[in-house]
Amino acid sequence: DPRYAYTGTWVSQTNVPGAYQGTLHISNSIGDTVTFTFTGNEIHLFYQAGPSLGSLAITIDGAGPPPFSQAQDETQIKEWVYELDSGATHSIVIQHFSGGSINIDSLRVPGPTPTPTRTFTPTP
């Protein structure tokens, strides 16, 4: 997506089973970042976890949870979800924090949930 701003030495890997559109973006260098601006109150990060992977740090509007590791025994696509208080415009920064490579699959921002509206139906 051209809205993602990558800094550092990210590489694209194709034909990855289970990954969105078969692609991953991979950082092998601590400090690499990807930045994305979105409007909404929730964001979903899909990433590939597996052996020998590193940790990533995520900040949204300058704050965020502690870094987390992508390392686990089995290779699989996993999902990280973060809810925000407002549906305003936010900036997310994902940083290769430590360890081996980090693998990013995709980001998804759900659309707003429609509010039901009552329809007036005249009675004959």
pLDDT in tens, 26-75: 999 999 999 999 999 999 999 999 999 999 999 999 998 899 999 999 99
pTM: 0.84
Give the per-residue pLDDT at 112. 62
Give the per-residue pLDDT at 124. 56
Give the per-residue pLDDT at 115. 52
CB atoms within 10 A of CB 94: 26
**Residue 10: pLDDT above 90?**
yes
Give the per-residue pLDDT at 123. 55
**Torsion, CA 3, CA 107, CA 47, CA 41, rounded to 10:** 130
Residues in CB range of 33: below 8 A, 6 or more apart: 6, 7, 8, 93, 94, 95, 96
